[in-house]
Amino acid sequence: MSLQLDGNVALVTASSGGLGKASAEVFAREDANVVVNGRDRDALDATVAELDDLGDGRVVGVQGDLTEADDIENLVETTLDEFGGLDHLVTSAGGPPSGPFLEMEDEDWYHAFDLLVMSVVRLVREAADPLQADGGGTIVNITSRSVKEAIDSLVLSNSVRMSVIGLEKTLSSELAPEVRANAVLPGPHETTRIQDLVEQAVDRGEYDSYEEGLEARGEGIPLERIGEPTELGEVVAFLSSPRASYLNGVAVPIDGGAGASNL
C-alpha cells in the first residue's frame, strides 16, 4: 500500500541511528525527500549514503545538537533552503541517563528537559509556518512507553517525556486543521543500543549467544520478541501520510502488547 508520500519533505531528528533512522528509512522508501540529523558527522554521512538509494527522493544530512537552539534553527532553515518547504516533522532524541531519583543532580534534570522537551518546542516553533503552508503537514513525536508506565531506574525519562505528550496534545488542537500532531510510544526495539547491551551480556557469560540474549529481552511481551526498528518507522510514516488523515492527537504504543495500561 502506497502511503502517498512521494515528493513530500520530511525532517527527522536524531536520525543517524536508532528509531529516528528507521523512520527516515521508511520515508526514503516511500520516495519522500528526507533530511536526517545527528551530532556525529561520520555516522550522518553513512546514513545519507545508505538511505539515498532507497527511493526517488533526495536525502540530506544536517549535523547539529538538539540541545542547541542555533543548531535547531539551522536544521529547519537548511531543510527549507534545500527543498523549498516542509511537510512532515518527526522529533526523536536519545534517552537521558538512567538511574534512581536520589542519584540525579539538578544539571541532569535540566539537560533531560533541554534534550527531550525544549528540542521539540524549538523545532515546532521554527517549523510551524512551513508546516501550515500549502495544504498543511504533520508532526510525529517519538517518545517512550514510559509516559504510560514508569520504568525502573528511568526517573528522568518517566518524568520529563510526559511533557512532550502534553505538548503534542495541545498542538493537535492549536495547529489544526492544517497540521496533525501525533506521538508514538516505543517499547524495546532491536536498535544498536540494544544490540550492544546484549553483546555485552554475552561477553559477561550471561547468555551463550546473541540470539539467546535477544530472546530473553522479549520475555514478558505477548508477541514474545522485541520490535524491529522499521516496524516503528512504518507507523511513524503512516501517521504522517494521507492514509491517517483522521488521526490527530493520539499517542500510539508500539510495544508488542507489553504495556499493562488500559489507556
- Work out the pLDDT band at 262, boundaries 50, 70, 90: confident
Q: What is the CATH number of domain 9-188+228-254?
A: 3.40.50.720
Cα–Cα distances (Å) from 17 to 13, 75, 250, in that order, read 10, 17, 25
88 close to 11: Cβ distance less than 8 angstroms: yes
For 142-162, the pLDDT digits (tens) are 999 999 999 899 999 999 999
Q: Which of 121, 132, 47 is nearest to 88 (CA)?
A: 132
Q: For 148-191, give the DSSP string.
A: TS--TTBHHHHHHHHHHHHHHHHHHHHSTTTEEEEEEEE--B--
Taking only the tens place, the pLDDT of each residue in 226-251 is 999 999 999 999 999 999 999 999 99
Instruction: Please tell me the number of Cα atoms within 13 Å of 220 on its side-chain side.
Output: 8
Give phi and psi for 217, each to the nearest 5: -65, -20
81 closest CA partner among 15, 9, 12, 21 = 9
Q: What does pLDDT average to over the chain?
A: 96
Which pLDDT belongs to residue 197?
83
Name the percent of the chain in helix, strand, coil, to the closest 5: 50, 15, 35
Determine the Cα–Cα distance for residues 248 and 177; give it in Å rounded to an integer: 9
Q: Write down the pLDDT at residue 183.
A: 98
Indicate the burial class of 115 (C-beta count within 10 angstroms; 0-12, 13-18, 19 or more): buried
Asked if 207 and 168 touch (Cβ cutoff 8 Å), the reply is: no
Q: What is the pTM of this model?
A: 0.96
3-state secondary structure of 257: coil
Alpha carbon distance 71, 170 (integer Å)? 25
Q: What's the pLDDT band for 40 if we cut at 50, 70, 90? A: very high
Residue 255 confidence class, pLDDT cut points 50, 70, 90: very high
CB 30 within 8 A of CB 55: yes
Distances from the Cα of 9 to the Cαs of 20, 57, 95, 160, 217, in angstroms? 15, 9, 26, 29, 35
- Rounded Cα gap, residues 142 and 29, in angstroms: 19
**Which of 95-99, 120-124, 165-169 shows the lowest mean pLDDT across its residues?**
95-99
Quote the CA–CA distance of 162 and 157 in Å, as a whole number. 8
| Proportion of the chain above pLDDT 70, given as a percent | 100
Residue ranges per domain, the chain? 9-188+228-254, 190-226
